[in-house]
Structure 1
Amino acid sequence: MVGKKSGKALLREEGLERTDNNMEMTSWPVIQAINQKNYYTDYLKRDEQILAFRSQREEDRNKMIKQARDRDRALAQGHIVEPEGDVDMEDGDEEAEDEASSGAKTIVIHLGSQNLRVGLANDALPKTVPMVIARRAQRSESEENDGEPAPKRAKLSNGLPPPEPEKRFGEDFAKKFSGMSQDLKVRMRMNKRKVLPQSRDMVTSYNRRNTYDTITEHNDTMRIEWTDTSNSPEYITGKAALRIPDKSTPRYKLYWPIRYGWLNEQDYESKRFLYDDIRIILEEAIRTQLELNLKTREEWAQYSVVIVTPDYYERTYVTGLLDMAITEFGFGRVCFFQESLACSFGAGFTTCCVVDIGAQKTAISCVEDGMILDNSRVNLKYGGRDITEMFVKMIIYNHFPYSELNLNRRYDFQLAEELKAKYCTMTEADISVQLYDFHLRAPNQDTRKYTFKIYDEVILAPMGLFRPQVLEDNGKLNGRHKLLDRSYDIYDGKSNDPTSTAQAEILTSIAPPEVLNSTNKSFGLPTNGHTNGLLPNGSATKDESFNDSRRPSFSNIKEIDATPQPSAASSPVRQSNLDGTPAPDDVIMDGAEGVPNGYIGQQNLPPPLPRPEEEEPLPLERRDDILPVYPLPAAIVTSITHAARGSSQKTSDLLSGIMLTGGTSVIPGLASHLEDALKGILPGYSKDILIGRPPRELDPQVVAWKGGAVFGRMSRTNDSWINAFLYERLGERVLAHKLMWAW
């Protein structure tokens, strides 16, 4: 038996014995590990450690020191100083202070999809400029795609459009148009309004046999001065761009840098050209409309700018405008302000639900105590332009005498906008067969005067806000993120664009099944394979009945408010559609049977809206594949639901403070019709629902700009300004410290 060897012998035999001289492997000092139990730091825990706050305090401190020196100088010279310590400032300093407080050196800019509103903060009203630029091109926009007109016409097998106006937009549109007209007759009869039989036949028979009268140019007192392009400028902006003849020499093509509230990536091939066009439009508007001939960078630095941004924005949009304002324009200070908050400032409301219906988008947000409730933000991609297109289709369907109306032509587009502004209404008392006239003014042609009759098209076209299934998609999602990618967090790599649970709920309710099946989360809206009648591109399904009585359902959402509710059998409820119109059978149902969405009409205490959950069902990457198109009343209810969070009092406050803004909100009768629609969805809150417009006879189209002007004049209390010093050192990170909302 072999004896046991010692450990040293094993080390020696195995070659593991240490033979060095105990010297360190390196001369670099060894850093000991941190003791986690005693570890503490105050890094970035005090305002003094953040440059944005420190520079603001240094500026305030320097101002206080200067005031103290002025006070001591005044006392030494024997001047009388008030108890508060106020003294007369030097002439230059007093003039600068007056200009800052009066807004004479502050420019307020509100960018829209169709119009730009710009002005000084001390102006009563802004200047409105079309947000368009014309550049030289081989073909104009009316000559592209082989001159295909807009709205699109159906084509026969031989490639020609059908001669009958009733067939020019397809059977689907004809079926929807007839269904809408029939529903309107039912509603008008229910409201005891007179409906003449054969009204549609009276309109079509008159329009068929009507011709036009020619007016020579020297007899036309309202003739248009078309833009002269003989000197071939590189670009033309504003109203002059819309008055360039379509067949000018050389040709010009119109570009709209902002479409549907987004940067227009579809019509541009370069991100640089897109931002250049925005810069040129802004610069030309400031120089021509505000009469500020600023040439050097020192002159631009004397002015500050307030930019009104959307509530549901994209980060790349805000950061791009910030870089443009400081780097390219050279403004001294830049400040950002959200649209709904600007509307509340301009109207003087502290708690309200702002419904901004613009030309190409509709934004809904709830404001409470000077802050926008993030989860209440809703952004829908339809507006006044969709109403114009629907109105054109309907009047052509009824044998409009000028059947060649093409929205791709500039003079036709302006004519269609004029007809919509004059005749569209939502007041049922104004619906009857009426005779109107208009003048067609085209370049190099004599003016033509048409007379035509019109019936229910004036109310059915704006009804697209309540029944968006009839609106066309028009490729609104084409080119999304082709030039500008989403903003991503540098740490986790996820998109950090703002989100809203109200917007997510709407997208969930209209999403196709394949998108919903991509996640196992449930947001609370029952899908049941529905897409709410909308395909992924937002168009209506062909097999869907137009009399859609579905309503936004909250049956799967947890209800946290424990307010006692009376018996359901004590309150009758009228069944209604999404737009508030009665269902075809117009049934009054008692008890729990047939009560829409569990809402029970109560005489004293309305039930609280269900409290939605916080989780967001759709991945951010899939949301850009769904066009947000949803009935306006249901979208308002969704926004208020997520803002109230189950509180009956807050729900009542928001419902009683709904404010309509935007250019499309001026349609007569829209507020009362929307109010009736909301009462049909929320019968328990009928007494609280109140829709109004901005007070003091302020134009709803400029109320957001007016709020930005009020904010820009708050020089003493506004600490949201970003100057070139901060932007040079911090870049876009300064927005996290300077914006009024969570960045």
Structure 2
Amino acid sequence: MVGKKSGKALRDEGLERTDNNMDLSSWPQIAAINQKNYYTDYLKRDDQYLAFRLQNEEARTKMAKNAKDRDRALAMAKPEVTEAEAEADGEATMEDAEETPAEAIGSKVIVIHVGSQNLRIGLSSDALPKTVPMVIARKSATNESEDHDEPKPKRMKREDGSAEDPENQFGPEWSAEFNRMSSDLKVRMRQNKRRMLPNSKEMVVNFNRRTSPETISEHNDPSRVEWTELSNPPPEYIVGQDALRIPDSSNPRYKLYWPIQNGWCNEQDYQSKRMLFLDISLILENAIQTQLGLTSKKEWPQYSCVFVIPDLYDKSYVTQVLDMLMREFAFARVCFIQESLAATFGAGFTSACVVDIGAQKTSICCVEEGMCIENSRVNLKMGGQDVTQAFVKMMLHDHFPYADINLWRRYDFLLAEELKKSLCTMSEASVSPQVFDFHLRVSGQDTQKHTFKAFDEVHLAPMGFFEPTIFDNDEKLGGRRKLIERSVDIYDGQPNDPVSGAQSEIMTALAPAIPASEKTNGEAQAAPTDAQATPARPQQPNAIGRVQEQEATPHSSVAGSPAPEAAPTPQAAGAGSSAAPAPAAQPARPAVEYRDDILPVYALDNAILTSIAHAARSDEKKMRDFIGGIMIVGGGSLTTGFNLFLEERLQILRPGFAKEIMIGVPPRDLDPQVVVWKGASIFGKLSGTNDSWIGQLEYDRLGHRLLAYKCMWAY
């Protein structure tokens, strides 16, 4: 063993230490964290959030002000007040109150509900909203009917260019589907012991063939239309109802733009995102000025705003709207509320399955104790306008006397909407050959009175909600994601728009089959097994037995959903026929929630059961509660007998719950079209318990990140 060397020996060998024990750097040395036991309170207390701090400061300021006012009132009170003086003071106080009436609750809150066809707007203190068409007309070289070579609905022509026969002008597939639905209706009516003439269809066709219009001069027409007169010089744009009444042959021409279509931003008709949201702001600005009387923008900073958004929303749309309301309109405060939750507020229900049928979108969501159940949200791209177009096609198929009808023309569009509202019914007792008439009014021309007969078209057109293959779904995905990119998470770059288990199941059922060459080994083995186990069930989801436990997170997977079959049912295949096929270069199937090439058009009764199944999560008590508390709202539900027909369809699909199934309507005879707006107006009055207001100071500092703290749901 070698002994320890002396300092002299180390110095001689050049190994002596010469650093004087000094540190290598003048920077302070921080000891490493003991990773077995460390703690931080960063972002774990409410007072570390600006939104909560400002809210508490506002509450403390209000409390201090009330205390000072109370002390001041006590200090100024007289020590002894006689009975006569008290009576005199009471009279004076009442006179002062009459001279300066108290401000009504909600009179400084503007409630906005934007739809694909109509905008509903009003003050929170109003009983009912004002309704304005969600359209703007801009000066253009051509109008919308001149822009499209083909009329709407599109007709087929022969090879020589001549018009096809009415029975064949929409193609053999559509005609076969229409005839099948007509035959099924006859079978149901015979089963229900309803009398039908065997030659009803022939009677209708023969009558419509030989009828001719009657001309009525304009001065003899008591209901003539007041067309919009253009000023000199003509304005750059016209908004609302006046835009729909601009003559198609106006000089200069005007073209209609609908900023919201199918519940999405209309990216097909616009060339830039800026112009799209500019038109939305112009329509809202005009409505505030004309419908609410707030002509001066200097008054707007005194008002707050409640804005209604869809249950399944695009985050890009919400953040853009928030910026518009805070920056351009300069409202004092803004808050958002979801459509289904607002509907339960308006109807006064605590729990319900809300089915909102709009003009171009149908949304379904189960609400429980003031919260939307995330996995129950469903958004279908069909509505009342699809019924209008299907009704026109059915009437043209049966030799409608006004064969030149074109829904691109404004007066024809308004005429078709009027005929749909007055004639369509879901009551089988009203299905019989009947004579109707309508007046065709065109600017600068005499009125024409047409008489026609209709038979089962009035019933089969709204039946499209349950058999959506009869609808025209070819162009609903046009322009999707052309202007507005999908919102993504700033950390991992994954899409972070809200997703739903029910919507995922529907999209999976509608998704086209994956070619064998594109499947991975695992998928190639698993898919045939699932298809063999469930031979024909993409269109009939198991509402009780097969509800997978799905996490309510923005990145939930759809691995638990059934694989689509190679040969789906006719309804599922027809509903998804307009969707583009999966990209050929894609090696694996992406999550269905994140795909934009699948159009969510699905039978309404099956969609309702799918939503309820995901809300109940195999709990039979919840299943019975939701299936017995279905509420139908929206303008598309105004068809006569719609609720009763839907109830019967659900009872056939779920005979075990036949006694519990009940379709409700909004109480107090409230118009189903305004229930959502009414609920949002009630929400706007809850100043003491509503913590979701976003103020100007908060927005200036944090921007749209505030939505994560302010929304009542998991944003």
TM-score, structure 2 length as denominator? 0.86
Counterpart residue number, 2:225: 224
Report 1:476-515 matches (<5 A). 476-514=476-514
Q: Hey, what's the Cα distance between the residues in 2 that align with 1:721 and 1:623?
A: 33
Q: Hey, what's the Cα distance between the residues in 2 that align with 1:67 and 1:487?
A: 44
Contact 2:340 2:365 in 1 (8 A): yes
Counterpart residue number, 1:737: 709
Contact 2:355 2:631 in 1 (8 A): yes
| DSSP-derived class of the 1:253 partner | strand
CA RMSD of aligned residues (A): 3.5
Contact 1:509 1:525 in 2 (8 A): no
Q: Does residue 551 of the first structure (1) align with residue 523 of the second (2)? A: no
Tell me the CA shift for residue 317 of structure 1: 1.2
> Are the structure 2 counterparts of residues 94 and 653 from structure 1 closer, same or farther at C-alpha, using a change threshold of 3 Å?
farther
> Are the structure 2 counterparts of residues 94 and 30 from structure 1 closer, same or farther at C-alpha, using a change threshold of 3 Å?
farther
Counterpart residue number, 1:275: 277
Contact 1:228 1:244 in 2 (8 A): yes
Q: Hey, what's the Cα distance between the residues in 2 that align with 1:725 and 1:93?
A: 34
| DSSP-derived class of the 1:513 partner | coil
> Are the structure 2 counterparts of residues 523 and 339 from structure 1 closer, same or farther at C-alpha, using a change threshold of 3 Å?
farther
Tell me the CA shift for residue 714 of structure 1: 1.2
Contact 1:207 1:401 in 2 (8 A): yes
> Are the structure 2 counterparts of residues 710 and 26 from structure 1 closer, same or farther at C-alpha, using a change threshold of 3 Å?
same
Q: Hey, what's the Cα distance between the residues in 2 that align with 1:290 and 1:194?
A: 53
Contact 1:74 1:80 in 2 (8 A): no
Q: Hey, what's the Cα distance between the residues in 2 that align with 1:477 and 1:531?
A: 29
Q: Hey, what's the Cα distance between the residues in 2 that align with 1:525 and 1:639?
A: 26
Report 1:235-274 matches (<5 A). 235-274=237-276
Counterpart residue number, 2:363: 363
Q: Hey, what's the Cα distance between the residues in 1 that align with 2:478 and 2:109?
A: 37
Identity of aligned residues (%): 58
Tell me the CA shift for residue 692 of structure 1: 1.5
Tell me the CA shift for residue 514 of structure 1: 1.9
1:627 maps to a residue whose letter is L
Counterpart residue number, 1:71: 70
2:191 maps to a residue whose letter is M
1:736 maps to a residue whose letter is A
Counterpart residue number, 2:305: 305
Gaps of 5+ in 2: 81-91, 550-568, 572-588
Cα offsets for 1:170-205 (capped at 9, x unmatched): 111111111010000000000000011110100010
Counterpart residue number, 1:201: 202
Tell me the CA shift for residue 498 of structure 1: 0.3
Tell me the CA shift for residue 322 of structure 1: 0.6
Q: Hey, what's the Cα distance between the residues in 2 that align with 1:34 and 1:95?
A: 70
2:438 maps to a residue whose letter is F
1:285 to 287, 312, 317: 287
Contact 1:230 1:249 in 2 (8 A): no
2:608 maps to a residue whose letter is I
Counterpart residue number, 1:653: 625
Contact 2:360 2:385 in 1 (8 A): yes
Q: Hey, what's the Cα distance between the residues in 1 that align with 2:74 and 2:690?
A: 31
> Are the structure 2 counterparts of residues 36 and 396 from structure 1 closer, same or farther at C-alpha, using a change threshold of 3 Å?
same
Report 1:588-603 matches (<5 A). none
> Are the structure 2 counterparts of residues 76 and 549 from structure 1 closer, same or farther at C-alpha, using a change threshold of 3 Å?
closer
Q: Does residue 56 of the first structure (1) align with residue 55 of the second (2)? A: yes
Counterpart residue number, 1:605: none
Q: Hey, what's the Cα distance between the residues in 1 that align with 2:161 and 2:32?
A: 79
| DSSP-derived class of the 1:38 partner | coil
| DSSP-derived class of the 1:354 partner | strand
Report 1:441-590 matches (<5 A). 441-514=441-514, 551-553=540-542, 557=546
Tell me the CA shift for residue 18 of structure 1: 9.1
Contact 2:507 2:593 in 1 (8 A): no
Q: Give aligned pairs, total.
A: 663
Cα offsets for 1:624-675 (capped at 9, x unmatched): 1100011000000000000001111111111111000000100011111100
> Are the structure 2 counterparts of residues 476 and 525 from structure 1 closer, same or farther at C-alpha, using a change threshold of 3 Å?
farther
Q: Hey, what's the Cα distance between the residues in 2 that align with 1:461 and 1:633?
A: 16
> Are the structure 2 counterparts of residues 240 and 92 from structure 1 closer, same or farther at C-alpha, using a change threshold of 3 Å?
farther
Report 1:294-443 matches (<5 A). 294-296=296-298, 299-443=299-443
> Are the structure 2 counterparts of residues 526 and 126 from structure 1 closer, same or farther at C-alpha, using a change threshold of 3 Å?
farther
Cα offsets for 1:309-344 (capped at 9, x unmatched): 111111111111111000000001101111111110
Counterpart residue number, 1:84: none
| DSSP-derived class of the 2:335 partner | strand
Tell me the CA shift for residue 249 of structure 1: 0.9
Cα offsets for 1:20-59 (capped at 9, x unmatched): 7776554322333222223211111111111101111110
> Are the structure 2 counterparts of residues 244 and 327 from structure 1 closer, same or farther at C-alpha, using a change threshold of 3 Å?
same
Q: Which moved more, 1:148-157 or 1:437-446?
A: 148-157
1:107 maps to a residue whose letter is I
Q: Hey, what's the Cα distance between the residues in 1 that align with 2:365 and 2:531?
A: 25
Counterpart residue number, 1:597: none
Q: Does residue 718 of the first structure (1) align with residue 682 of the second (2)? A: no
Tell me the CA shift for residue 95 of structure 1: 12
Q: Hey, what's the Cα distance between the residues in 1 that align with 2:240 and 2:157?
A: 35
Contact 2:544 2:613 in 1 (8 A): no
Tell me the CA shift for residue 515 of structure 1: 8.6
Q: Hey, what's the Cα distance between the residues in 2 that align with 1:193 and 1:29?
A: 94
Counterpart residue number, 2:187: 186
Q: Hey, what's the Cα distance between the residues in 2 that align with 1:410 and 1:714?
A: 41
| DSSP-derived class of the 2:167 partner | helix
Contact 1:510 1:531 in 2 (8 A): no
1:551 maps to a residue whose letter is Q
> Are the structure 2 counterparts of residues 679 and 386 from structure 1 closer, same or farther at C-alpha, using a change threshold of 3 Å?
same
Cα offsets for 1:446-493 (capped at 9, x unmatched): 100000000000000001000011211131111111111111111111
| DSSP-derived class of the 2:138 partner | strand
> Are the structure 2 counterparts of residues 287 and 97 from structure 1 closer, same or farther at C-alpha, using a change threshold of 3 Å?
same
| DSSP-derived class of the 2:507 partner | helix
Q: Does residue 118 of the first structure (1) align with residue 121 of the second (2)? A: yes
Contact 1:508 1:523 in 2 (8 A): no
Contact 1:524 1:556 in 2 (8 A): no
1:256 maps to a residue whose letter is W
| DSSP-derived class of the 2:691 partner | coil
Q: Does residue 109 of the first structure (1) align with residue 112 of the second (2)? A: yes
Q: Hey, what's the Cα distance between the residues in 1 that align with 2:294 and 2:404?
A: 42
Tell me the CA shift for residue 230 of structure 1: 4.7
Q: Hey, what's the Cα distance between the residues in 2 that align with 1:150 and 1:721?
A: 44
2:484 maps to a residue whose letter is L
> Are the structure 2 counterparts of residues 174 and 152 from structure 1 closer, same or farther at C-alpha, using a change threshold of 3 Å?
same
Tell me the CA shift for residue 145 of structure 1: 3.1
Counterpart residue number, 1:707: 679
Q: Which moved more, 1:674-683 or 1:474-483?
A: 474-483
> Are the structure 2 counterparts of residues 92 and 292 from structure 1 closer, same or farther at C-alpha, using a change threshold of 3 Å?
farther
Q: Hey, what's the Cα distance between the residues in 2 that align with 1:550 and 1:625?
A: 19
Tell me the CA shift for residue 620 of structure 1: 5.4
1:662 to 634, 646, 650: 634
Gaps of 5+ in 1: 1-5, 82-87, 533-547, 561-576, 580-616
Cα offsets for 1:692-723 (capped at 9, x unmatched): 11010000000000001111111122111111
TM-score, structure 1 length as denominator? 0.83
Counterpart residue number, 2:658: 686
Q: Does residue 158 of the first structure (1) align with residue 160 of the second (2)? A: yes
| DSSP-derived class of the 2:223 partner | coil
Report 1:579-658 matches (<5 A). 619=591, 622-658=594-630
> Are the structure 2 counterparts of residues 448 and 56 from structure 1 closer, same or farther at C-alpha, using a change threshold of 3 Å?
same
Q: Does residue 38 of the first structure (1) align with residue 33 of the second (2)? A: no
Cα offsets for 1:189-244 (capped at 9, x unmatched): 00000011110100010100100111111111111111122532110000000111
Q: Hey, what's the Cα distance between the residues in 2 that align with 1:353 and 1:169?
A: 37
Contact 1:217 1:446 in 2 (8 A): yes
> Are the structure 2 counterparts of residues 122 and 66 from structure 1 closer, same or farther at C-alpha, using a change threshold of 3 Å?
same
2:421 maps to a residue whose letter is A
